[in-house]
Every structure is written in C-alpha cells, then in structure tokens.
Amino acid sequence: MPITAYSGGTSLEGQFRSSPVGGICIDMGGMNKILEIHEEDSDLVCQPGAGWMDINDTLKEKGLQLFFPLDPAPSATIGGMLSNGCSGTNAVRYGTAKAEWFLNATVVLPSGEVIKTRRRARKSSAGFDTTKLFIGAEGTLGIVTEVTIRLAPLLPTTVAVVHFPDVRKAAAAVREILNRGVGIECVELVDNEFMRATNLVHAPAPPRYPELDSLFFKLQGPTPASLAETARIVKEVVSKPEYGGSGWKLAKNDEEAADIWMDRKNAHYAGLALLPGARGWATDVCVPISKLPDLVYETKKDIKDSGLTSHIVGHVGDGNFHALLLFRDDAELAVVRDVVHRMVERAIALDGTCTGEHGVGMGKKEYLYEELGEGTVELMKAIKRTIDPLNLFNPGKLYPEEKDSKHPRP
Amino acid sequence: MPITAYSGGTSLEGQFRSSPVGGICIDMGGMNKILEIHEEDSDLVCQPGAGWMDINDTLKEKGLQLFFPLDPAPSATIGGMLSNGCSGTNAVRYGTAKAEWFLNATVVLPSGEVIKTRRRARKSSAGFDTTKLFIGAEGTLGIVTEVTIRLAPLLPTTVAVVHFPDVRKAAAAVREILNRGVGIECVELVDNEFMRATNLVHAPAPPRYPELDSLFFKLQGPTPASLAETARIVKEVVSKPEYGGSGWKLAKNDEEAADIWMDRKNAHYAGLALLPGARGWATDVCVPISKLPDLVYETKKDIKDSGLTSHIVGHVGDGNFHALLLFRDDAELAVVRDVVHRMVERAIALDGTCTGEHGVGMGKKEYLYEELGEGTVELMKAIKRTIDPLNLFNPGKLYPEEKDSKHPRP
Ligand SMILES: Cc1cc2nc3c(=O)[nH]c(=O)nc-3n(C[C@H](O)[C@H](O)[C@H](O)COP(=O)(O)OP(=O)(O)OC[C@H]3O[C@@H](n4cnc5c(N)ncnc54)[C@H](O)[C@@H]3O)c2cc1C
Ligand SMILES: Cc1cc2nc3c(=O)[nH]c(=O)nc-3n(C[C@H](O)[C@H](O)[C@H](O)COP(=O)(O)OP(=O)(O)OC[C@H]3O[C@@H](n4cnc5c(N)ncnc54)[C@H](O)[C@@H]3O)c2cc1C
C-alpha cells in the first residue's frame, strides 16, 4: 500500500501541492519537537515536523545568537525541507538544502529498517554521504524521523530597495556586488508587476514603490560600521550609470527593515491581488546566472502574449526565479500550463533546471529525461528500485515513467 | 579486471596512498585542461586531472577575481578531490567538497555508460543530486571525466598568528570569533610540537615562534577598512583574560602574510624535521567542535605515553584535526597503528567520524560499521552493487567486507 509522509504541506512540487496516490498518509506534523540544542557546536537535533520559523523563534527566546538559514514558506518543516531540497532568499549567502545544513538524518527505509546516515561532526569524508540521497528525494526513498541541522551565527542586518530601468541592468549590478564580497544575505529581483501588486495590497495608501523592476537587499554585517560600509558600496554600485539604479532606499531602523522585507516575503499573496478571484500557479526554474535576464525577458513576453497576468520574483544571486501565473477558469489554466511548459523548455535549453527549489512531484517529472539525460534518470530509478523494490513510498512522484513519456505537450 | 583511476596521487585515504588491487590503473593526469571559463556565472568546466592550484593560477593570469576554494594538497586534482570528498583550510568559510562547489560531473559508470549528473545551474531541486553519489565514493562508483566547478570571488586577505596557554582556550576563542561573523577565511590550530618543528625548519635562524599551542588566521574582507576591523575584533577576542592569547602578530604586508601562511601550509614537511630519518603517517578525524579540545588532549597524552613523536594541526573551525605520527621502523609503525586506532575510536565515541577529509581507502573501512551503523553501511554497499555489480571499480576500497570484520585490533 502506498505511503506518503507530509508535514508542512507547503510544497509546490511541480506546481500545486501534489497529492499522494491513495494509500496511507502519515502526518509528521505532530513530531515537531526540538530534542537537543548544542550551542557550543552550533547544531540542533529535531523531529521532522519542527518548523524552521519555530526553531528560529525558540533559539531567539533562549537568547542564542544562532539561526537555521534555509527559508522556504513560513510554515515549512525540517522533514519537508530536507525531502524537497529547498532553499529560499538566504541561499545566495548560505547555499541550499543540498549544501551542509543537514548533518544527518534518521530515516525509516521502505524495508522498515531505521538508519542514521551520519554522526554529528560537521564534516566527514567517510565515503559518499547517504544523507544527500534523501535530500530532494521527495519522500520516495525513506521517511525522515529525526534530523541534525547545523546553525549559523545570527548577525545584524538591514534592508534596502532600489529600482532599475530593466532586469538586465539589475542583474548586472548584482553580479558586480556579489563579486565585491560585501555582506549580502539576500538579493531579490522583483518585476514591475510585483511592485504593482504590492502597491495594490497597501491601497488606498499612496503607492509605496515605483512600478519598476527592482532589487530588495538584505545586508548583513558583524558591526554597525561594516553594515554601513556594505550599504555604501551597494549604493555606489547600483548607482553607476551603466546600471542606472534609482530611488535607493535604506531602512532607517529595524522596524522599517522588517516592514520593507515583509513586502518581498508577501509575494505569493500580493500576487493574487493582481486579479481578484484568481488562483495562482507558482512555478520556478533556475539557470546559470548570466542567462537569467534573457529567460525573464522571454518569459514575460510569453506571459503577455498569452494574455495572462503574473508577476516574477527571483533569487537573482542564484539564477533562480518564480512566476506566479494567475487563472480564473479551466481555459486560463490550460494557457498557464502551456506557458509553464515553454518556460521550463527555455530554462533547460539555457543549461538550467526545470526546478530550482520547488521540486519535481508529479508535475515536472516529464522533463527529467531531457534535463538530466537518460543515463542519469535511469541511475536515479535504479537507486529507487534498490531501496524501494515494491515502490511503496510516494509512488508516482519524481521518477518519470519511461523515456518516451516526455513532451506530451505540443 | 579491477580498474582504478588516479590523478594527483596525494590522497591519504585511510593512511598511506592506498594502492589499487592490481588490474588496470588509469592515470587521469593527462586530462588536465580547463575547457570553459564562464566568468559571468562564476563557474568553470574542466577535466579531472586539472589541479586546483593550476586552475587558480590560470584565473589569476587572466585577471579574473575568482578562485576555487577547496584546498587540499598542493598537487591535488579536481577528479581526486571530488572522489575523495576533500576540504582543507578554507572549509570554515567555504564548506567542503560535499557542499555546492561541484555543480555537475560527467562520469563513466562501470557499465561503460557515460552520464552527466546535472546541468550548470547553481541549484536545482530536480530530485536527489546524483553528483553527490560520486563525491567521496573514492572512484568506486564511476570514473569522473569532466567536472563543472563553482568559483568564489577572490577577496583581499591578511594573516595573523597568536599563542595560547592551551588548546581548550584557543578553541574557545575560535568559537566566539566565529559567532561574531567577522571575515575569517581560515583558522588553524597548531600545537607546541608543530611550532617546534617550524622553528627547526628555519634553524639556524633564531626561533620564529614561541613553542606554544597557537592559532593561524587568514582574515578576509572586501575593503582595507573591513579587514582592519576584523583584525581588531579578532585581536580583542583572543586577548580576553579567559582565553589568554599572547604575542598577537598581524602581517604587515602581503609578503609577510604569505610567509607566515607558508609556515602553516608546510606542516607535513616541517613535521618530518622533528625526527630525522623518520617517515610520517598522516591521519585525520573530525568531531563536533566542542569535543575537539578533549580529543586533542587525550590524543597528545596517548602519543606521549606511547613514546612517539608527532605534531597536531587542526581545522579547528570544523572540529577536524590531523596528527602526523613519525616512525623509523616496523616496531614504531606498529605503535603508530595502535595510536591511530585509539584516536579513531575516541573520535567515534565523541559522535565524530574516522575521517574528516582524508577518506577511507583500505585503512579505515573497518570503522564504518561502528561509525555509521549496519543499516547505513549496507545501504552504501547496496548502491555499490547496483552501480557496479561486478565490483570492477577500486575493489577492496571503502566498503568493509562484513560486519564482524570490524575491530581486528585489541
Ligand atoms: C508561499 C510559499 C513560498 C515558498 N517559498 C519557497 C522558497 O523560497 N524556497 C523554496 O525552496 N520553497 C518555497 N516554497 C515551497 C515549500 O515551502 C518548500 O518546498 C518546503 O521545503 C516544503 O516543506 P513542507 O514541510 O511544507 O513539506 P511538505 O509539503 O509537507 O512535503 C514536501 C515533500 O516532502 C515529503 N515529506 C514531508 N515530510 C517528510 C518526511 N518526514 N520524510 C520523508 N518525506 C517527507 C512529502 O511527501 C513531499 O513530497 C514556498 C511555498 C509557498 C506556499
Ligand atoms: C601534504 C598533504 C596535505 C594534504 N592536506 C589535505 C587537506 O588539507 N584537506 C584534504 O581534504 N586533504 C588533504 N590531503 C589529502 C589529498 O590532497 C586529498 O585527498 C585530495 O582530494 C586528493 O586528490 P588527488 O588528485 O591527489 O587524488 P588521488 O590521490 O589521485 O585519488 C584520490 C582517490 O580518488 C580516486 N580518483 C582519482 N581520480 C579519479 C577520477 N577521475 N575518477 C574517479 N576516481 C578518481 C582514486 O582512485 C583515489 O581513490 C593532503 C595530502 C597531502 C600529501
């Protein structure tokens, strides 16, 4: 009988929360305890249902200057984040779930055996790391029941926002800033439609932002002096004539910083304001960062030509962006599907991936043969068969059926 | 017929360069070309025999402010580093080979099939990352023939050295410094014996350093002001009475910085100066960082009690340390083996690993059942059998024979 674990339930794997194919559904949400905090080692042991925001709140309440830096949806949980291979706005500074934030995992295999992938040392070269097998496997190889996560020092931050003539200039400015090595915790690209949505959310107040392609920065530094220096350098770079950044706004205090950042974090819900009554299809792709402007341009043109409403938000430091495509009925949904299909095909053609952080689920598995090649997909399937010969865990997800099933669409 | 690939030949897997079990030996050293440099994307495609130092020299010659931050032995190569799951002094800032530095690998599987694990996007959540299967697999799952590596911005650095009453105080100072979030690229713990060896290397010049447990820092910052601020904060922390750091020396210029750092990098060869005519057995273990001082203390005591000569060098920000144990004959070699055995057992008992960065090879596979548990080792072996059913690639390495083969020593 098929078995699916879930906890946060915020996954957007291949668009839409992918529903299990019947069978047993195990809600891991109750297993949400923090079991051990090792302040001295900057790590923590918890159950899979523990939310990353709850963990960070607990650390703050205890007065510890530590946090867990992976930041997908606010209600996402450690088990789902590991299984999804998530990331978020902090990835430009801290990397993704596939880096070294998950030190080990205790996993129930389909055979019923319970394994612990590693001990608690920060690094090990004792063979390939079996933890990584479960990161991004979307629950198809095992059910995660306990995790040791690494924590990072919590540093002072501030927030800034600045506007650009177009996406290409914004992306070029980001490249120069990242190469300067200053303290950037996050840098988020948003398009004019995102700004329009945000202004709508705040209406009837006067518009908060010019409706232009823009960057939101979260700056980070150990001292006020270094934060001020970072802000000065970032402002200097974005203001160069070749980038044309305008309207630079640096938060005056922590409240203002939180307020501006909330506008960025509210992207999903603000987007829905663009078309009252519509539902949103959130999708993401990722490409080498130099290709991002082309991809955003072509995607925006496609969206416009297709008559859809959408906004775009990008983790621009990673070459990753999300489109929230709005639809009100089945006819519009069909158009959305086609736009997503072309967006994915474009990303793969640019040496990118069908999903930077949302996962494959049932909606994107058809692209894996094209993206990864037959040999790599067959290797993934061989590993799945080795670990789960009866195909018990999350059947139907992640692994494409057969090579010729790709490209069912025109 | 068994097949072993090698290139840099610097691996210390489980002590000593592990020799292949007869069969075909493929020297990848000739495949040492850089194939593509994508400056805009901060990545590069190369063949497996390309050395990390050659890559960094090439980037410098081309005037690019980029570098590859994994830094094991100077003559190590990308294919060996990937296969070994290496790290080095930069790991405290940049993480290890198991983080996100290897974007993809082209691999010849034992079946003869050639796969490419991923495309070139910086991140992807399109399933579990098969690249990671080959990282640390020590050539047992495939032969790597091409790799895309991610590069980091090259930033101004400087170097400092400071001395402590003991390892515990040095390690405690490191913890506070890392939590301050200042720009630390490397922080290396060395013991009094290391300092003695280094003074011997420079003799007959007067002693360069007091023969005390010490820290070498490489500081990093985008601007002279931030570098100076970092140096000020680090000096302030180490000088606190509870840590008792003394003799703080900050390099006055780039030449002096390179000169001091060379003393640290020369550890292996300097160590041999402690006992003329001796050979050295280099071994490494890694534990949660709070356990490092205990482990170093007990290991040093054991070395002394056993009548051996050795020095200790630690990547203290990661909880990882190396001992270079000297021996002149088979009798001393037998004592060395026993000391290493007890050091590994101690590390595992402290929730650590038998190897932080040197690998398993043939010398440490007996510890994997104890360290990882039977289920995890059997999972690794099942994956090996799936990919290499005829056991063609590097047979005899990494995977322990059977559970009861562990602990052959008293
Ligand atoms: C508003 C919004 C914003 C988002 N922003 C981001 C973002 O910036 N970055 C990003 O990466 N994602 C983002 N996401 C997607 C989502 O938050 C992430 O994919 C997250 O990792 C899912 O975690 P979860 O706990 O909700 O997992 P769930 O949705 O519960 O599960 C995710 C998958 O993991 C499996 N699973 C869950 N628990 C376990 C377990 N214990 N063992 C084995 N398998 C398990 C499930 O079967 C499922 O396949 C966003 C989603 C929303 C709604
Ligand atoms: C002085 C000194 C200092 C060192 N310092 C460090 C340190 O700080 N950190 C650290 O991590 N290590 C260190 N090491 C160990 C060593 O440098 C690393 O393990 C390094 O990653 C080995 O790279 P290599 O190219 O020399 O690999 P090799 O020794 O050639 O091979 C290593 C392993 O990988 C396999 N292999 C090689 N090429 C391929 C390929 N193309 N495809 C598949 N398998 C392959 C080999 O069969 C072997 O199992 C040090 C070694 C020395 C001698």
Question: Do A111 and A128 sit in the same domain of this protein?
Answer: yes
Instruction: Identify whether B392 is part of a domain.
Output: no
A300 phi and psi angles, rounded to 5 deg: -65, -40
Question: Do B191 and B243 sit in the same domain of this protein?
Answer: yes
Show the low-confidence residues of chain A (pLDDT under 50). 17-18, 406-410
Question: Do B227 and B96 sit in the same domain of this protein?
Answer: no
For residue A11, the model assigns a pLDDT of: 87
Whole-angstrom CA distances from B53 to A300, B8, B60 are 42, 12, 10
Instruction: Identify whether A306 is part of a domain.
Output: yes
Rounded CA separation B362/B340 (Å): 14
Q: State how beta strands A157-163 and A246-250 pair.
A: antiparallel
Question: Do B83 and B201 sit in the same domain of this protein?
Answer: no
Rounded CA separation A43/A64 (Å): 12
Rounded CA separation A111/A234 (Å): 53
- Name the residue facing A127 among B136, B182, B352 (closest C-beta): B136
For residue B19, the model assigns a pLDDT of: 55
The dihedral of CA A41, A47, A48, A54: what is its sign?
Answer: negative
In DSSP terms, B327 is beta-bridged to: B279
Instruction: Identify whether A371 is part of a domain.
Output: no
Last residue in a domain, options A270, A285, A310:
A270
Residues of A in contact with B382 (CB under 8 A): 386-387
Whole-angstrom CA distances from A188 to A212, A344, B332 are 14, 21, 60
Last residue in a domain, options A153, A174, A203:
A153
Count Cβ atoms below 10 Å from residue B103 Cβ, excluding itself: 24
Q: Which helix (DSSP H) or strand (DSSP E) does residue B61 occupy?
A: helix B52-61
Place of tokens 């493929």: B26
If one counts the domains in chain A, the total is: 3
Contacts of A334 (CB under 8 A, 6+ apart): none
For residue A407, the model assigns a pLDDT of: 47
Indicate the pTM of the whole model: 0.96
Q: How far is the CA of B53 from the centre of ligand 2 (A)?
A: 13
Q: A125 and B357: CB-CB below 8 Å?
A: yes
Last residue in a domain, options B349, B366, B397:
B349
In 3D space, the residue among A395, A365, A397 whose CA is nearest the CA of residue A110 turns out to be A395
Confidence bin at B410 (pLDDT 50/70/90) = very low
Question: Do A254 and A217 sit in the same domain of this protein?
Answer: yes
Q: Token pair for residue A256?
A: 């203002």
E strand intervals along A102-207: 102-108, 114-116, 143-150, 152-153, 157-163, 184-190
Whole-angstrom CA distances from A16 to A10, A107, A173, A234, A361 are 9, 26, 33, 37, 9
For residue B295, the model assigns a pLDDT of: 96
C-beta separation of B7 from B49 below 8 A: yes
Instruction: Answer yes or no: is the ipTM higher than 0.85.
Output: yes
Comparing alpha-carbon positions, the chain A residue that sits nearest to B85 is A125
Q: Token pair for residue B224?
A: 């002279």
Rounded CA separation A5/A137 (Å): 12
Cα three-residue angle A220-A224-A230, rounded to 5 degrees:
50
In 3D space, the residue among A379, A359, A382, A403 whose CA is nearest the CA of residue A139 turns out to be A359
pLDDT tens for each residue of A50-79: 999 999 999 999 999 999 999 999 999 999
Question: Do A123 and A197 sit in the same domain of this protein?
Answer: no
Q: Which CATH number belongs to the domain containing residue B328 in this structure?
A: 3.30.70.2740
pLDDT tens for each residue of B143-173: 999 999 999 999 999 999 999 999 999 999 9
For residue A19, the model assigns a pLDDT of: 55
- Name the residue facing A123 among B41, B43, B318 (closest C-beta): B318
pLDDT higher than 60, residue B376: yes
Question: Do A144 and A7 sit in the same domain of this protein?
Answer: yes
B122 phi and psi angles, rounded to 5 deg: -65, -30
Q: Which CATH number belongs to the domain containing residue B206 in this structure?
A: 3.30.70.3450
Question: Do B282 and B265 sit in the same domain of this protein?
Answer: no
pLDDT tens for each residue of A8-60: 888 888 765 445 567 888 999 999 999 999 999 999 999 999 999 999 999 99
Rounded CA separation A34/A149 (Å): 11
Instruction: Identify whether A361 is part of a domain.
Output: no
Q: How far is the CA of B357 from the centre of ligand 2 (A)?
A: 9
Instruction: Identify whether A78 is part of a domain.
Output: yes
Confidence bin at B131 (pLDDT 50/70/90) = very high
pLDDT tens for each residue of B201-231: 999 999 999 999 999 999 999 999 999 999 9
Question: Do A27 and A144 sit in the same domain of this protein?
Answer: yes
Distance from CA of B385 to the nearest CA of A (A): 9
Q: B133 and A137: CB-CB below 8 Å?
A: no
Distance from CA of B365 to the nearest CA of A (A): 8
Q: Which CATH number belongs to the domain containing residue B43 in this structure?
A: 3.30.465.10
Q: How far is the CA of B144 from the centre of ligand 2 (A)?
A: 13
Say how far residue A118 (Cα) sits from the centre of its chain: 25
pLDDT higher than 90, residue B14: no
B343: containing domain: 277-349
In 3D space, the residue among B396, B323, B324, B330 whose CA is nearest the CA of residue B365 turns out to be B396
Residues of B in contact with A116 (CB under 8 A): 372-373, 375-376
Q: Whose CA is nearest to atom 16 of ligand 1?
A: A11
Distance from CA of B276 to the nearest CA of A (A): 31
Whole-angstrom CA distances from B78 to B18, B153, B334, B346, B377 are 18, 19, 34, 32, 26
Question: Do A14 and A127 sit in the same domain of this protein?
Answer: yes
Whole-angstrom CA distances from B292 to A82, A117, B285, B339 are 28, 22, 10, 17
Q: A180 and B120: CB-CB below 8 Å?
A: no
Whole-angstrom CA distances from A123 to A42, A118, A147, B220 are 13, 10, 15, 22
For residue B20, the model assigns a pLDDT of: 58
Instruction: Identify whether A304 is part of a domain.
Output: yes
Give mean pLDDT, residues B58-78.
Answer: 97
Question: Do A196 and A231 sit in the same domain of this protein?
Answer: yes
Distance from CA of A387 to the nearest CA of B (A): 8
Tell me which ligand sits closest to the C-alpha of residue B91. 2
Question: Do B21 and B130 sit in the same domain of this protein?
Answer: yes
For residue B404, the model assigns a pLDDT of: 59
Instruction: Identify whether B406 is part of a domain.
Output: no
Q: How far is the CA of A81 from the centre of ligand 1 (A)?
A: 5
Cα three-residue angle A93-A97-A100, rounded to 5 degrees:
75
Position A344, amino acid? V
Instruction: Identify whether A376 is part of a domain.
Output: no
Residues of A in contact with B129 (CB under 8 A): 85, 98, 132, 135-136
DSSP labels for A41-92?
GTEEEE-TT-BHHHHHHHHHHTT--EE-----STT-BHHHHHHHT---TTHH
